[in-house]
Structure 1
C-alpha cells in the first residue's frame, strides 16, 4: 500500500483555458467513440449488398458492443497503472487504424474483425476521457462538466443515423469510417497539446493477466448469449444455454480472483461502499430500463400505432434531447450545492408517471401523443448520469479513478444489454401468446414489414404497454436502491 501511495502522481494544475482545451479534445474523442455505435446502423443494408454474407450483418454492431463493454474496465485500470495520457494516445491511434481497416474491408469477416478492434479502442476512449476529466477537475466542479458528456452522447445518437444514411446513399459506405480520420486527427492535435502537463506516471504494479482473461471470457459470452437469446434465438437452445453458463462461470471466477490480487480491475470494496455499491446497482437498473424504452419506442410507434418510419424517427429527437437538458441542470445543482442525491430522487418519479400513463393507454393514444409522453421519461432520468459518475469518483482515491470509471461503464453497458434483450423477448413472447398468427412474422423487424389489421396493432400496443409497466416498476426499484446512496461532501480539490 505504501509503495503505491508513494508512486501516486502529483496534482495537476491547469489554467481555466487549458481545462477548456482538454475538455474540448476529450469530448471530441468521446463523440468519435459514441458516433461509431450509431452511424453504422443505417448503412447496414448497403454494406450487406456490397460485401455479401448478409446473415452476418448483425455482427458489425455486435462485435463493436462486445469488445467495447468487455474492454472498458480493463482499460480503465490500465489508465490507473500506466497513465491516462499514454492510454488516451494509444486508444486514439488504435481507433484510427481500426477505422481505416473498416473502410478498406472487402469481406464481411474482415469488417467484423476490424469493428471488434474499433470497439476495444472506443471503449477505452469512453472510459479514459471521463477518468481524465476526473483527474484534472475537482468533484464539485466535475458535475458541471459531466453533463457535457450526456450532451455529447445525445449529439452522437442523433447525428450517427443521419450521417450513416447520407454517406451510404451518396458517397459510399466506407465513408462511414473514413469520417473518423479527420475528426480523430483533430482530437489528437488538441489533446496532445493540452495534456503536456499531465504526467506520464507508472505505478510499480502490473495488471493481473488471469483476471483479464476471465473478464473477457465471462463478459463476452454472457453478452453474446443475451444479445442472441433476446432477439433472434430461443433461450432454451443448447448454444444459448452454453454461452450463459460460460458467461456466469467466467464472471464468477473473475470476481473470486479480484479478492486475491494486489491490483484488482474491479476492487471488491467498491461493492460494499455505501456510495459506490447502490450507485452501480441503480445505474444498472435505471439505464437498462431507459435503453429498453429508447430502443423499442420507435417500433411501438410504427408497428403498434401505425406511424410512418420518418415520423417515428423525427418524434424520437425531442426524447433524445430531453436527457441532456436535465443532466445539465442536475450538474449545475451539484456544483452549486455540493449535493448529488436530490436531482435523481426528484427526477425518476416523473419518468415513472409518464411510463405508467403509457402503459395504461398504450393502445389508445395517437402516435404524436405517445411520442410526446416519452419526453418526461428523458427529463426524469437525465440527472442520474452526471450525478452518479461524480458521486462514484468522489468516493474513491485518485489512484482508482480509472477503475471506478471502468466499472461504471461496464455496469451501465451490461444493464442496457440485459434489459433491452429482456424487454424485446417479453414483447415478442406476449404478442405470440395473444395472437399466435403473428409469431411467424420474424421478430420486431418482421412485424414492421407485415400487413397488420387494427386488431393486430392493438395486440402489439398492449404488449408494449406491459413493457412500459415493467420498466416503470424497474425505475421504482432503481429509485429505491439509489435512495440508499450516502450523501458525502464533494471535494473541492482534485488532489
Structure 2
C-alpha cells in the first residue's frame, strides 16, 4: 500500500494514494484550465483588441493562429512524451505557453500578436494531451474514470468561463490581462510539477517523430486558410500571391501524402482514410467545430458592434451555446452506449443547428436577449450531437490497435475546423463590411451574412450524416464509451 506522505514514495508500478494523487492533480488541473481557457477567452475581447490595435477585420486570426499550431503540436508532443519522458515535455510545453502568453500581452500590433499566439499554441497543443497521458501513467485503468470526470469538468468550466473572463478583463482592466493571467497560474503549476511529479522513465528513445509531416500539415493548412480568406478580398483571385498560395497548397499536400506513406510513425496514418465512416466522421467533426467557433467568435462581436453591449455582457451569450453542447453530449452518450445506435444523432443535430443558425441570421439591433439565447442553446445542442457521434463513429471505424492514433487524427480535424471557422468567416465579415458604407444597418447585414453562411455547411453535414453507414459498436468501443477502458495512447 503506497505511503500517503508523498507520491514519489509509492512502490514502483503502484498508484499514488488518494491524498497524494489529489496533490498531483492540482497543478495538472491548473494547466488544463489555462490551456482550455485560451481557446475561448479571446472571443469576447476581439473587438477591444481590434480597436486598440487598429485592425478589426484581421482579429479573427488571433484565434486561428492558436488553433492551427496547437492542432499539430498536440500530436507531436504526445509522441515526444512517449520517447523522452512526459515530465520534461510537459514542462517544456508549459514554458513555451507562458512565454507566448507574456509576449501576447506585450504585443504592440496585430501582426506580432498573431505571431505570438501561434507560439503560444505550440505550447498549448501539448498541454491537454499530456495531462491525460500523465493521469494515465499515475492511475490504474479501473480508477481512471473518476479522474477523467474531474478533468472533463475542469475543461468544460474553462470553456464556459473564458468568454466571461475575457469580457471582464476587457471592460475592467485591459485585454492584455487575458494573457497575463496565465503567468502566475502557469508558474505555480510549473514549479509544482517539477517538485512533486515523478514518472517512470521511458522504455525507449528509439522511436521517430514525424516532424516533417507536422510541418507539411501546417504549411498546407496555412496556405489554404490564407488563399481562401485573402482571395477576392485583400488580393484578386488572379494575383500572384493567391496563385502562389494555391500552388503551395497543392504541392505541400502532395509532398505530405508521400511523406506520410513512407514515415515509420506518421502523424496521420493514411490507412485510416480507407474507411468511408472515418472520412465522414472527420468531415463532420470539422464542420461542427467550424460552426461552433462562428458562434463563439462572432456572436459576441455582433453584440458589441451592433447592439453596443459591454464585453462582459456579450460573453454571457456564449454560455447557452456551450451549455447546449455539453448537455446534448451528456444526454446522447448514455443512450448510445445502451442501444449501440448513433446515426440518428448527427442527422437531428444538423437540422437543429442549421435551423437555429438560420434564426440567428435574422437577428438585428432590436433583437432581444431571448431571441438570441434560444437559437444559440439549440445550435449548441445540435453541435453536441455531432461532437459525440463523430468521435465515437470515427473510433469505431478503425481497429482497436489504431484507436489512439485515430483519436489524435479526429481531434486534429476538430482543431482545423475551429481554425477554418475563425479565418473563413472572418473573411466573409470583412468582405461584407468593406462592400458597404459603414453604418449600423450595414453592420447588421454583414453579421447576418456570416451567420447565414453556416446554414449551407450544416446542409452538407446533413447529407454526410445520411451517407454514413452505421457500423455496430464493437465490444471494446462499448467499454470505451462507458468509461471502463481507456483509449490507447498515441
SS at match of 1:414: helix
Q: Which of 452, 455, 480 is the aligned partner of 2:441?
A: 452
Matching residue of 2:222: 220
The superposition leaves residues 287-333 of structure 1 with CA deviations (integer Å, 9 ceiling, x where unpaired) of 22333344444566788xx6443565433322222212233344555
Measured after TM superposition, the shift of residue 122 of structure 1 is 0.8
Query: Does 2:344 align with 1:345?
Result: yes
Query: Which consecutive residues of structure 2, in runs of 5 or more, have no partner in the other structure?
Result: 1-11
CA distance in structure 2 between the partners assigned to 1:238 and 1:451 by the alignment: 35
Given the superposition, is the C-alpha separation of residues 20 and 332 from structure 1 closer, same or farther in structure 2, using an over 3 Å criterion? farther
Distance 1:158 1:105, change over 3 A: same
- 1:289-328 to structure 2, matched below 5 A, reads 289-298=291-300, 307-310=307-310, 313-328=315-330
**In structure 2, do the counterparts of structure 1 residues 218 and 15 end up closer, same or farther at CA, with 3 Å as the change threshold?**
farther
Worse overlay, 241-250 or 308-317:
308-317
Bigger relative contact order, structure 1 or 2, given CA contacts below 8 A and separation 6+?
Answer: 1
d(CA) in 2 for partners of 1:231 and 1:314?
32
Match of 2:4 in 1: none
Match of 1:472 among 451, 458, 462: 458
- Pairing partner for 1:39 from 31, 41, 50: 41
Gaps of 5+ in 1: 1-9, 433-437
CA contact (8 A) 2:40 2:296 kept: no
User: Within 5 A, what are the aligned runs for 1:48-447?
Assistant: 60-104=62-106, 111-132=113-134, 152=154, 154-168=156-170, 170-188=172-190, 191=193, 195-229=197-231, 235-273=237-275, 276-298=278-300, 307-310=307-310, 313-331=315-333, 337=337, 341-342=341-342, 345-346=344-345, 349-350=348-349, 352-353=351-352, 355-356=354-355, 359=358, 363=362, 366-367=367-368, 368-385=370-387, 388-389=390-391, 401=404, 403-419=405-421, 421-423=423-425, 439-441=435-437
Q: RMSD of aligned C-alpha atoms?
A: 4.5
Shift of 1:364: 8.3
How many Å apart are 1:349 and its aligned residue? Answer: 0.6
Partner of 2:3 in structure 1?
none
Residue-pair matches, total: 464
- Cα deviation 1:333-366 (Å, max 9, x = unaligned): 56xx477653x73365155135326537954895
Q: Structure 1 pair 406/79, CA: closer, same or farther in 2 (3 Å)?
A: farther
CA 1:427 to 1:12, structure 2 compared with 1: closer, same or farther past 3 Å? farther
Residue 414 of structure 1, CA deviation: 1.8
Change (3 A) 1:270 1:227: same
Contact kept? 1:359, 1:465, Cα under 8 Å: yes
Task: Return closer, same or farther for 1:280/1:347 CA change in 2, 3 Å cut-off.
Answer: closer
* Aligned counterparts of 2:387 and 2:73: Cα–Cα separation in 1: 21
Q: CA deviation at 1:67?
A: 2.2
Check the 8 A contact 2:100/2:116 in 1, yes or no.
yes
